[in-house]
Chain A
Amino acid sequence: MSINVWSILKFFAYVAIIMFFLFPIAWIFNMSFMTNDEILRKVPVLFYEPTFKNYIGLWEGEIAIEGFATMYVYFKQNLINSAILSVGSVSVTLLLGVPAAYAFARYKFKGGEDIAFTLLSFRFAPALLIILPLNLYFSEIGLYDSYFALIWVYQLITLPLLLWIVRGYFEDISPDIEYAYRLDGHSWFQSFWKISIPLAKPGIAAASLLCFIYAWNNFVFALILGSSQIQPVTVGALAFITASAIPYGLIACGIVVSVLPTLILALFIQKYLVQGLSLGAIKG
């Protein structure tokens, strides 16, 4: 009896969660195949002839509004920019953050905690506070409007996140396992590469995914520090709104397309996320 109640509750929990979190997503997906006329109805249309006009328009970058004007969108370039910025940022973060996280987890050196905390404090440096001075600074040293500068600034968001998540995972690995590997005759670097990193993989995977998402979604840094040539999809998609319409179909379509790379990455990473326990018994 009690098991029944429990599983009924569980069923409703699933339904509620799916409805709340995924229904809007499904509706966005749905809208991406609709015209604005079909989207903006008092009573929603459920059956309509799906149009690929939005997708084609995004791809071609030119949307002709019949007898009125031609709308230009630079979404493809925005997508490429987002990809460069996010992949670049996450790569740099992994390169710097994983060894640093390891150092903070393993070596209790003097001032180590202070450095770790300072790095964390970058994360809560309010963007509005630093963005104007940064703009001034980057203009002065000729870094305004460069991918490099943005990837650098993105580290403020991604590096602390990765550092603090991955650090916890490293701390969970028994140091004896690493010592054992070194006593086998492997160098410090080999034990880091072959033991510590593989064992912290679920944490590194989860942190990288989050870093990627945050880099991908960043808005204000790119907006202020870059020309329209290097704007990511987040800024680009807002430009769909014109003086003659809010093309919701196109915006929905832009969201769908902009989410796809992250979704694919998440699916790819998922096996590591899931791996967590299956390696299990890290402690013995």
Chain B
Amino acid sequence: MSYLDLDNLSKSFKDDKIISNLNAKIEKGEFFVVFGPSGSGKTVLLRLLSGIMMADSGEIKMDNQIINELHPEERDVSMAFQNFALYPHMKAYENIASPLRAKNKNMPENEIHEKVNEIANLLKIGHVLNQFPKELSNGQKQRTSLARSLVDKPSVVLLDDPLRNVDAKIRFEMRLELPKVLKEFNTTVIYITQDFREAMALGDRIAVLYDGKFNDIDSPKNIYQNPSSLTTAKLFGDPTINNFDATIKKQNGFVEVDVNGEHF
């Protein structure tokens, strides 16, 4: 029995089908990466899961409960936003403590203090807890945002391309660090990225999202070696090579690649 069950999820805006009949089963404790080109509906998917948006049809089951109609605050889900979404008028400490205060009405102040410090130290931001978001570097903001999503040990953590807005050095560091931290929490992670290397580095499984659905769901290795379609294969190709205008055609049972008039 899977922990998170997405059954025929659909969502469209006006006439635009963003997600159509999407299915997935995600296990407890799994690091599940959703990979797809920009505009493929990754963020919408996360918003459906978090309750920020409601699905047009289909079901989201969590631990066998249908949670479609639940408000964000009623779902045992946390999320780190791509743009961090820190509360500008609260210090980093209060940002991180926010879920603790919300979900555990009577948690004593010292326990909150302990938990905030624990996660902050783990993410190496213990020294900036007294600062406002605008005083933090992007890397620190990103860690604060992560800390906020993890501090209350939610069952499911949604990470919306968290490394997108930080510079290359930090991104590299975090790519190594993140799985370790998340493992300690033994939580289900749904991680969104449009960087296939990141997807391959982090995911237990990778789901490839385009055309509104998951086209492959498999381990990084399998997807890389046996993509189910050309599109998937192309997405996982090395970007430098594919940097030409190329037309890919299936002709006479062969794959024909046409780059600047030359056939392969």
Contact with A along B81-114 (1 / 0, CB 8 A): 1011111110000000011001100000000000
Q: Does A15 contact B (CB under 8 A)?
A: no
**B88, A176: Cβ atoms under 8 Å?**
no
Which residue of chain A lies nearest to B82 when distances are taken between CB atoms in the complex?
A176
Secondary structure of the B contact surface, majority rule: mixed
Could you tell me if B134 and A184 are in contact, using CB atoms closer than 8 angstroms? no
B122 interface residue per 8 A CB criterion: no
Task: Specify the chain B residue showing the minimal Cβ separation from A182.
Answer: B72
Residues of the B chain whose Cβ atoms lie less than 8 Å from the Cβ of A283 = 83
Check: A117 CB closer than 8 A to any chain B CB: no
- The residues of A that contact B117 with a CB separation of less than 8 Å are none
- Say if the beta carbon of B177 comes within 8 Å of chain A: no
- B50: which of A174, A179, A187, A282 is its contact (CB, 8 Å)? A179
With contact pairs A179-B50, A281-B134 given, residues A185 and B103 touching in the complex (Cβ less than 8 Å) = yes
Contact with A along B57-82 (1 / 0, CB 8 A): 00000000000000111010111010
Known interface pairs A180-B79, A280-B134; A185-B85 also in contact (CB < 8 Å): no
Which residues of B have CB within 8 Å of A44?
Answer: none
- Roughly how many angstroms separate A121 CA and B174 CA in the complex, as a whole number? 54
Q: Does A10 contact B (CB under 8 A)?
A: no
Contacting pair A183 B79 (CB below 8 A): yes
Residues 164-180 of A, flagged 1 when their CB comes within 8 A of B and 0 if not, give 00000000001011011
| A186 lies within 8 A of chain B by Cβ | yes
A249-284 residues with Cβ-Cβ distance < 8 A to B are 279-284
Q: Which of these, A176, A186, A195, A279, contacts B73 with CB under 8 Å?
A: A186
Give bound CA distance, A184 to B101, whole Å. Answer: 9
The answer to whether B99 and A185 touch across the interface, beta carbons within 8 angstroms, is yes
CA distance A284 to B144 in the complex (A): 12
A179 lies within 8 A of B72 (CB)? yes
Complexed CA–CA distance, A187 and B71 (Å): 9
- The count of A-to-B residue pairs whose CB atoms sit within 8 angstroms is 77
Contact B89 A199 (CB under 8 A): yes
A185 touches B73 (CB 8 A): yes
Residue B246 at the chain A interface, CB threshold 8 Å: no
> Chain A: which residue is nearest B96 at the CB level?
A184
- Contact residues in A for B77 (Cβ distance below 8 Å): 183
Q: Chain B contacts of A179 at CB under 8 A?
A: 50, 52, 72, 79, 81, 85
**Residues of A contacting B50 in the complex (Cβ-Cβ under 8 angstroms):** 179, 183
CA distance A227 to B104 in the complex (A): 56
Q: CB distance A195 to B83 under 8 Å?
A: no
A188 CA to B152 CA in the complex, in Å?
Answer: 20
Instruction: Report the separation of the CA atoms of residues A179 and B86 in the bound assembly, to the nearest whole angstrom.
Output: 11
The reply to whether the CB of B148 lies closer than 8 angstroms to some CB of chain A is yes
Bitwise interface map of B from 202 to 231 toward A, beta carbon under 8 Å scored 1, else 0: 000000000000000000000000000000
Q: Could you say which residues of chain A place their CB within 8 Å of the CB of B79?
A: 179-180, 183
B179 shortest CB reach to chain A, Å: 22
- Residues of B112-165 at the interface with A, using a CB-CB cut-off of 8 Å, are 133-134, 141, 148-149, 152, 165
A173, chain B: closest CB distance, angstroms: 9
With A195-B87, A199-B89 as known contacts, state yes or no: A176 contacts B81, CB within 8 Å. Answer: yes
List, in ascending order, chain A residues with CB within 8 A of B52's CB: 179, 182-183
- A50 beta carbon closer than 8 Å to chain B: no
The answer to whether B85 and A199 have CB atoms under 8 Å apart is: no
Q: Are B72 and A177 in contact (CB under 8 A)?
A: no
Assess A282 versus B88: contact at CB under 8 Å? Given A176-B83, A180-B79: yes
Q: Which residues of B contact A279 (CB under 8 A)?
A: 88-89, 134
Across-interface contacts of B149 in A (CB, < 8 A): 183
Q: Is the CB of A180 within 8 A of B85?
A: yes
Would A284 and B71 count as touching, CB distance under 8 A?
no
Distance in angstroms between the alpha carbons of A229 and B179 in the assembled complex: 74
Q: A188–B73 Cα gap in the complex (Å)?
A: 8
Query: Cα distance A281–B148 when bound, in Å?
Result: 19
- Bound-state Cα–Cα, A108 to B134, Å: 30
A133 CB to nearest B CB, Å: 43
How near does chain A come to B221, taking the closest CB pair, in angstroms?
A: 33
A-B complex: 3 closest residue pairs judged by Cβ atoms = A185-B102, A176-B85, A185-B103
List, sorted by A's number, 14 A–B pairs whose CB atoms are closer than 8 Å. Answer: A176-B81, A176-B83, A177-B86, A180-B79, A183-B51, A183-B75, A183-B149, A184-B73, A185-B152, A187-B73, A279-B88, A279-B89, A280-B134, A284-B141
Chain A residues in contact with chain B, CB under 8 A? 174, 176-177, 179-188, 190, 195, 198-199, 279-284
Extra inter-chain contacts (6) besides given A179-B52, A184-B78, A280-B88, CB under 8 Å: A181-B98, A183-B51, A185-B73, A187-B73, A188-B73, A284-B84
